[in-house]
Amino acid sequence: MNYEDREVLLRISGLRKNFGGLQVTNDVSLDMRAGIVTTLVGPNGAGKTTLFNLITGHLKPTGGDILWRGTSIVGLPHWQIARQGIARTFQDLRLFDHMTVEENVLTVMEPVSWLWQPGGRVKRREREDKVARILARTGLSSKARSRAIDLAYAERKFLSLARIMASDARMWLLDEPASGLDRSSYDRFLKLLRAEVEGGVTVCIIEHNLDIVIGVSDRIAFLDQGTLLADDDPDRVLKDPHLAAIYFGDQA
């Protein structure tokens, strides 16, 4: 299907955020379409995390709008935005370190959970079956009873993915989900992500590593100093010498 023919799930329109005199989101307009993996790239301090925080309701915009399936979500508390189907992971993962892997995933499905979805009040047995399926898909079955704190780095990353899978959210915002993964874990991550996207999930990823950007992106949104400089095919964005200078200037 053509990019333009896909449903716009999330529409960011003229979005602005100031911290005092500092404008960190500068009139950003960006559509995220169903079944597309959009990668947010840009130098440090470009405003990528701020954009995630604005979408999820952890920050309130200074101006502009964010529409989820046609309806504004600006001003809603973050838990209500999550319930509507927008879930996120964090760079620092934010797992329950002293709970088991299984419990970490189960808590997402508790009715009181901030990621609880309408219709998710399923019986404990069904929930446990669902957790088992998710752990199998993320390669964590043998670690179900291990505490999160005792997992290896890659396993912790997969646990954070398992938690977002359990939320049944339609849109995933992932903060550097593949950074630091070894080659085989990275390949497994990519396969899992693609299967989820095939299954109807829409994804936005913050990523610094260019190899990962190339590997995962259907679309790249390039931010610099709060301004969206490009939102296009990966090929076109990556071949733009002006953007390359900004990107690599930052890495130097």
Residues that bind ligand ATP (CB under 6 A): 19, 22, 24, 42, 44-50
Cβ of residue 4: shortest distance to ligand ATP, in angstroms? 28
Q: Which is nearer to ligand ATP, 93 or 99 (CB)?
A: 93
Contact 221, 195 (CB under 8 A): no
Cβ of residue 50: shortest distance to ligand ATP, in angstroms? 3
Q: Which is nearer to ligand ATP, 47 or 215 (CB)?
A: 47
3-state secondary structure at position 208:
coil
Cβ of residue 46: shortest distance to ligand ATP, in angstroms? 4
Per-residue CA distances from 159 to 81, 93, 134, 228, 243 (Å): 22, 9, 10, 32, 34
Q: Which is nearer to ligand ATP, 146 or 179 (CB)?
A: 179
Distance, in Å, from the CA atom of 158 to the CA atom of 178, rounded to the nearest integer, reads 9
Contacts of residue 118, defined as CB under 8 A and 6 or more positions apart, other chains included, come to: 83
Q: Which is nearer to ligand ATP, 196 or 224 (CB)?
A: 224
Cβ of residue 59: shortest distance to ligand ATP, in angstroms? 8
Q: For residues 132-148, b (16+ Cβ closer than 10 Å) or e, as one string?
A: eebbebbbbeebeeebb
